[in-house]
C-alpha cells in the first residue's frame, strides 16, 4: 500500500508513506514527511482466541 497526502491549503505539508507486508503477521511501514525526515516501523500482529 502506498499513501501520498498533502494539505490543500499549503504545498509544504506533504507525507509519503508505504506499507509492505512481509508475511501474514509482519509488515514494514516507511514514511517521509515534509521536512525530509524518514521513519521506519516494524509492525507485528498476533490474534488470540
Q: Quick one: pLDDT at residue 11?
A: 63
Q: Quick one: pLDDT at residue 42?
A: 95
Q: Quick one: pLDDT at residue 9?
A: 75
User: pTM above 0.85?
Assistant: no
Cα torsion at 39, 43, 21, 15 (round to 10°)?
-30
From residue 33, alpha-carbon distances to 7, 19, 41, 42 in Å are 12, 15, 14, 18
Interval 12-47: pLDDT, tens: 677 888 989 899 899 999 998 878 889 999 999 998
Return the higher-pLDDT residue of 1 and 21. Answer: 21
Return the higher-pLDDT residue of 31 and 8. Answer: 31
- Are the C-beta atoms of 30 and 43 separated by less than 8 Å? no
Read off φ and ψ for residue 47, nearest 5 degrees: -115, 135
- Are the C-beta atoms of 12 and 34 separated by less than 8 Å? yes
Amino acid at each position: 500500500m502506498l499513501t501520498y497526502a498533502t494539505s490543500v491549503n499549503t504545498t509544504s505539508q506533504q507525507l509519503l508513506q508505504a506499507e509492505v507486508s512481509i508475511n501474514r503477521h509482519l509488515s514494514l511501514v516507511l514514511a517521509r514527511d515534509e521536512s525530509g525526515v524518514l521513519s521506519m516501523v516494524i509492525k507485528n500482529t498476533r490474534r488470540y482466541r
